[in-house]
Chain A
Amino acid sequence: MDAYHVTVLSNIGMISLIALSAYLLLVCGEISFGQQAYFGIGAYISGIATAMWGWPLWSGMLAGGLIGASAAAFVGALTLRINGFYFSIATLAFAEMMRLLLYVFRYQVEIGGELVGPDGENGFHGIRWIFENDISTVEFMWIIYGVLASVVAGMMFMERSRLGRIFRMIGQDDMLARMQGVNVLLYKVLAALIAGFIAGVGGSLYAHSFTYIEPQFFNVMLGVHGLAYGLIGGLGVAFGPLVGVAIDIGFLEAIRWIQGYRMIAFGGLVAVMLIFWPRGIFDEKRWYSIRRCLRRMCGAETS
């Protein structure tokens, strides 16, 4: 595997996390245009934790995730009570607000005769955890995929649990969910919190993989992509967003003649998808039939 492929695969893994966080909210019927904010928060917080305070990666990642989660829950609690439109716009406003705040956020300390830390528009240099611990990009790729695998496994487990069912109920018909005795607002905020955590963890990995971050990375386009991946992959099953990421970064990137026009091709693809399959490739119905097929095949083999 050459360096280029390692980078592409690492990117797929990290972007998958923001796609998963958008997906979780989509399952609950809420559309967030601002998951990039929590991704950015996670990146900055974990970078500060490892590069400036000397924390290990895991604690930094946890901190990034937790701060991202609390920011998401804060935004959610304030705006989810109104209705979907306002939540979407508020997430967008919050994300841009965060990005602009990062432009003025300066907090640096001297380490080894060099200033380290976020420096406003000049970005945040020197998140050197992988160099200091002598971790190659391939090894870090495995770390990324380890984290991604546990997040996906956790989400698959959640989908089968009571919590997952509640999220789906709310997503399909929140009024009817309320009639079943579900405290809709509480669960929506909880979903926003979990989504914020996942995005924050993704951002932490991103900061440590690139070793340099700047506010411009966490712009609206990141959010557009995250949401598009969640939508195109399908809302039926938690690996849907991964399929979305793979289609864009993996498949379209590989086609020579699309190079340089990828966003045009992908944007068009998603827009057309929204017309015909508004709930993505693996939506609930298709996922149900796939599962039934699989069951039948397995049943045929055992009998």
Chain B
Amino acid sequence: MLRVENLVTAYGKIKALRGVTLEAREGEVTCLLGPNGAGKTTTMFSIAGILRPTSGDITLDGESLRGLGAARVVGKGVALVPENRLVFPQMTVSDNLHAGAFSRRDDRKRQRDMEKIYQRFPVLRERSRQPAGTLSGGEQQMLAIARALMARPRILLMDEPSIGLAPIIVAEIFRIIAEINREGVSILLVEQNARMALKFAHRLYLIQQGEITFSGTPDELGQDEVIQRSYLGG
């Protein structure tokens, strides 16, 4: 579904990505694993159109997304849940949700989607008129996911959803991710938390210093001893 081929993205003269190739298949959870500074967020930003890649191609069902710019990429059905800058802190929760749907103009359906989202995240309904900055970290993460869903994405890009959250909330977030995925939204996930990724992902990519060093299923990764030792500490 989403294919990234030979993607090179540079900050000035420093190449953060040196030819990344990966594929997120329809209906699957694809996970991009790697250490800090390996280029995970850069990959996400390049796909979402926030950074302009130097070369390579990004296609969604054969249609190129490269150079469209962030606004039009969202319109094509690719929504990003960024790491750490999650919500508009001074806007209310419901305004934040509306913000997610700005690429769409079908008002009536939007209202129905809001309803669905409040059912899935009851805590957001309780806080719907509160400024989003007053929510807890886990609630903000949920709001960010909910807001991305408001764009009715076909594929959801999630950048380290578990970062800085308590384990019990991480489990909750991943339960929600799995649920969203079961409803037919493909997911491309960036993680450092390898155990969670192994449990939920259908397909894994390892990225190191801007290059993909492994791709395969969690089982295949489990069999690779070198990776086992360096990434899973076992």
Contact = CB atoms under 8 A, between A and B. Distances in A.
B19 interface: no
Contact of B90 (A172, A175, A181): A172
B82 to A, nearest CB: 6
Contacts of A285: 90, 131, 133
Interface in B139-166: 147, 151
B71 A182 contact: yes
Nearest to B98: A165
A256 interface: no
Contacts of B72: 181
A160 to B, nearest CB: 10
Interface stretch (B99-107, B201-209, B219-227): B99-107
Contacts, number: 73
A181 B74 contact: yes
A173 interface: yes
A169 B88 contact: yes
B50 interface: yes
A176 B71 contact: no
Contact of A180 (B89, B92, B129, B151): B151
A288 interface: yes
B40 to A, nearest CB: 16
Interface in A278-299: 283-285, 288, 292
A173 B70 contact: no
A178 interface: yes
A99 interface: no
A291 to B, nearest CB: 9
A236 B131 CA distance: 12
Interface of A is mostly: helix
Contact of A179 (B82, B89, B90): B82
A178 B131 contact: no
Contacts of B48: 179
B75 interface: yes
A208 interface: no
Contact of A181 (B89, B102, B129, B133): B102
A175 B147 CA distance: 15
Contacts of A169: 88, 91, 99, 102
A156 to B, nearest CB: 16
B98 A179 contact: no
Contacts of A176: 82, 85, 87-88
Contacts of B90: 168, 172, 236, 283-285
A19 interface: no
Contact of B50 (A165, A179, A183): A179
Interface in B77-98: 79-80, 82, 85, 87-92, 95, 98
The 3 A-B pairs with the shortest beta carbon distances in the complex, nearest first, are A181-B103, A181-B74, A284-B90
6 contacts: A178-B50, A179-B74, A179-B82, A180-B74, A180-B151, A182-B102
Given A172-B91, A181-B73, 6 more contacts: A165-B99, A168-B88, A172-B89, A180-B102, A182-B71, A236-B90
Interface of B: 48, 50, 69-75, 79-80, 82, 85, 87-92, 95, 98-100, 102-103, 129-131, 133, 147, 151
